[in-house]
Copies of this chain bind each other. A is one copy, B any other.
Amino acid sequence: MRIGIYGYGNLGKGVELATRMHEDMELVGIFTRRDPGTVHPLTDVPVYGADALSRFKGEIDCLIVCGGSATDLPVLTPMLAKDFNLIDSFDTHKNIPTHFEKVDAAAKEGGTLALISAGWDPGLFSLARLYAASILPSGKDYTFWGRGVSQGHSDAIRRIPGVVDARQYTVPIESALASVRAGENPELTTGEKHKRECYVVIAEGADPEKIATEIKTMPNYFADYETEVHFISLEELKAKHSGMPHGGSVIRGGATGLDGEHRHTIEFSLKLDSNPEFTASVLVAYARAIVRMRAEGKVGAVSVFDIPPAMLSPLSREEMLAKML
């Protein structure tokens, strides 16, 4: 199947690398809104300007749209769905229903199939929530994120005057995680589930105490959390904090029995060295499903909830039954 990448940031690079892992996939090209001459792929793959994409209609089986959820995807995905089967990783949870409707209308108009909000959250974590809630209707869900870099929180620190650079890790609080894993179904706010670790580089002469206070009292981002601020050098930040690790856990505690006397815990966890590369790996696996389901006649928008798991696998039905079931 022929894959195209639209947008070449960290996620696009991850898609470029992930397609190499699948023998049944071929990367047709990278499409960029920048000057294609300034884009240098990691592997031997052609780069085109975004306006060249229309020439590839019918030549790309699935386009993977790698853009930001704030402003890019709400416009890009519906536009591109008119001409291409595609996948995006739209992750602004509260706007998913609206995004779904816009993409659904565009895909139905174009006779294409579009998977929105793939990745790990939304994506694999959503699947874990849905399976667990369906199986244990009497229960309670918890999502923990981290230990991982939050781009939004890192950016918020960088906007403080006197801050040169910063990296923020969201870290699950061990005691909260242990209580949930033990099936105690505690009541927990987001702030009681996570703490925030900040590594901050400041300008010469800037006041660390003032900056630490400004971080710790920042509404929405930090005020409701246990927040640690560590001042380090730019060299240390680059050496120790330039990766993009992430992960987390979705846990459901539920009960069965005549009187709810038996407790069960279902947990799905991820520990990721590279958030964008793993997210890209999910998108690429789903590309196989989208191409197959379109070939079966399906059009419109879909979510990961609509995709039979078998559609993701390169194995035949016989191999799946014999080796995976």
**Interface: A96 (CB within 8 A):** yes
Q: A278-B256, A313-B133, A313-B134 are in contact. Are A117 and B272 (CB under 8 A)?
A: no
Of the candidates B97, B263, B309, which one forms a contact with A127 in the assembled complex, judged by CB atoms under 8 Å apart? B309
Give Cα A97–Cα B264 distance, bound, in whole angstroms. 30
Chain B residue at smallest Cβ distance from A307: B308
Known: A305-B310, A321-B303. A270 touches B281 (CB 8 A): no
A105 is an interface residue with CB less than 8 A from chain B = no
CB neighbours (8 Å) of A42 from chain B are: 258
Q: Which of A14-22, A48-56, A195-203 contacts B (4 or more CB under 8 A)?
A: A14-22
A267 cross-chain contacts in B, Cβ below 8 A: 267-271
Please tell me if the beta carbons of A130 and B309 are within 8 angstroms of each other in the complex.
yes
Once the chains bind, are B278 and A305 in contact (CB under 8 Å)? no
Contact assessment for B135 and A285 in the assembled complex, using a CB-CB cutoff below 8 Å: yes
Contacting residues, chain B, for A264 (C-beta < 8 A): 270-274, 278, 281
A7-57 at interface with B (beta carbon < 8 Å): 14, 17-18, 21-22, 42
A138 at the interface (CB under 8 A from B): yes
The distance in angstroms between the C-alpha atoms of A318 and B129, with both chains bound, is: 16
Judge whether A100 is part of the interface by a CB distance below 8 angstroms: yes
Contact A318 B265 (CB under 8 A): no
Q: Answer whether residue A70 sits at the interface, using C-beta atoms and an 8 A cutoff.
A: no
**Residues of A270-325 contacting chain B, CB below 8 A:** 270-274, 277-278, 280-282, 285, 288, 303-310, 312-314, 318, 320-322, 324-325
CB <8 Å contact, B305 and A277 = no
Q: What is the bound-complex CA distance between A17 and B258, given in angstroms? A: 6
Q: Look across to chain B and name the residue whose beta carbon is closest to the beta carbon of A270.
A: B266
Give complex CA distance A304, B267 in Å: 19
- The residue of chain B having its C-beta at the shortest distance from the C-beta of A124 within the complex is B131
B130 touching A310, Cβ below 8 Å = yes
Kindly identify which residue among B135, B181, B272, B303 contacts A325, using a CB–CB cutoff of 8 Å: B303
Whether a CB of chain B sits under 8 angstroms from the CB of A111 is: no
